[in-house]
Amino acid sequence: MLRLSVHCSPIPSATQVPQVKLGSGYGLWIINYNRARKSAWGISIKALKDETNGGTSSFSGSSWKIEVPFEQIPEEHPSALGSFKDMIAVAKGKKLVLFLDYDGTLSPIVNDPDKAFMSDAMRVAVREVANLFPTAIVSGRCIDKVHGFVKLDNVVYAGSHGMDIWTPTGSLKYGDVGQQTKSIDEQGNKVVKFQPAQEFLPTVKKIIQVMEQKIKTFKGAMVEDNRFCVSVHYRNVNEKEVDTLKEMVHSTMKAYPTFRIDGGKMVMEIKPSIDWNKGHALEYLLDTFGFTSSSDFLPLYIGDDTTDEDAFEVVRGLKQGIPIIVSSVPTNTKASYSLRDPDEVMDFMVRLAKWKKAKSTA
Ligand SMILES: O=P(O)(O)OC[C@H]1O[C@H](O[C@H]2O[C@H](CO)[C@@H](O)[C@H](O)[C@H]2O)[C@H](O)[C@@H](O)[C@@H]1O
């Protein structure tokens, strides 16, 4: 346990001090924590629902005393914009491959999941980078929905947390597992669909039916059909009812032992318990892009959520790649760099495109 005395400036009055209820879905964020000096002067403290938990806090006089398990202190990660030159230096001689999460990365987090629109400017930026680098959108949403938001045809899509991947070629490496089917899309293009959770589809449909009934008593709760996965949203549920809703979901899912529940931003993500996640999807996609056996590629993955950590881990494991977390506060992550929000993600892509064009004309 690391003990910190945090002096606030200006001194907050008792009423300004955020109510931090530890152990019930609240947590502490320490901004500008100086790991080397183990101090945190003049910092701001936020109590965020549903974030890292642990420790205790108390307020006395002009300072907060915070006790946090050392391993839970969020680290700062250099800005991918601020460190652009150093960061991109490793791309020399390599082919960059871009992976982009959708919610919270290309679109801001909003209360209504059906209204998480991407701006036109963001669309222009994604189209531009996708013209320069192989680019994939990797989302928890079902493919139809994420395609409906992104509306671009020069990227490939992986939906349902990577359990539904559509590419023009498919993969030879994964070709013999019987999970790839060839078809023709609405525009008459060949598409190979990789769907490792096919057999779970009937049960997913059943779970959606059951959950839709059960959430009726929770005002604001919403069930989202993500084809191979189900999201139970509680962003708009009264705080006092969130724990009961979570308990309901956990106890209901006991009847479906071949499924697991992962966390997300005010959402419970119900998924088939197969050994497949966004990290595996990244490996599959690298293969379809033709990069598996060579070392001359550099994956760059940008994402904001816990499910993106699986992809960050794979990128790290490859020992050639750049994992970037989208977060406005320091956070515990396997990413190496950070961008604060979707606006910075857009600036970053514009910069990336400029860098590539300058390199090509040099
Ligand atoms: O992998 P992603 O593309 O990041 O998708 C993860 C989930 O994102 C969506 O939910 C989140 O964004 C919503 C809109 O901003 C927000 O209302 C919700 O609270 C967030 O959890 C999406 O609705 C889910 O289906 C995705 O699984």
The pLDDT tens digits for 246-283 are 999 999 999 999 999 999 999 999 999 999 999 999 99
Neighbouring-strand partners of residue 224? 231
CA distance 54 to 73: 10
Q: Is the pTM of this model over 0.80?
A: yes
- ipTM, 2 dp: 0.99
Mean pLDDT of 58-75: 46
Mean pLDDT of 287-303: 89
Report which of residues 34 and 254 the model is more confident about: 254
Residues 6+ apart with CB under 8 A from 332: 52, 72, 74, 75
pLDDT on residue 328? 84
CA distance 97 to 114: 29
Residue ranges and CATH numbers for the domains of the chain are: 2-72 (no CATH), 84-196+276-361 (3.40.50.1000), 199-272 (3.30.70.1020)
CA distance 144 to 159: 8
Any ligand 1 atom below 6 A from CB of 262:
no
Any ligand 1 atom below 6 A from CB of 265:
yes
pLDDT on residue 175? 72
- DSSP 8-state assignment for residue 307: G
**Locus of tokens 């769907």:** 195
Question: Distance from the CA of 110 to the center of ligand 1, in angstroms?
Answer: 9
Sign for the CA dihedral angle at 121, 151, 352, 280 comes to positive
Any ligand 1 atom below 6 A from CB of 220:
no
Q: Say which range, 66-75, 167-176, 219-228, has the weakest mean pLDDT.
A: 66-75
Instruction: State what percent of residues in the chain have pLDDT above 70.
Output: 78
- Kindly report, residue by residue over 157-206, the tens digit of the pLDDT: 999 999 999 999 998 888 766 788 988 888 888 999 999 999 999 999 99
Any ligand 1 atom below 6 A from CB of 54:
no
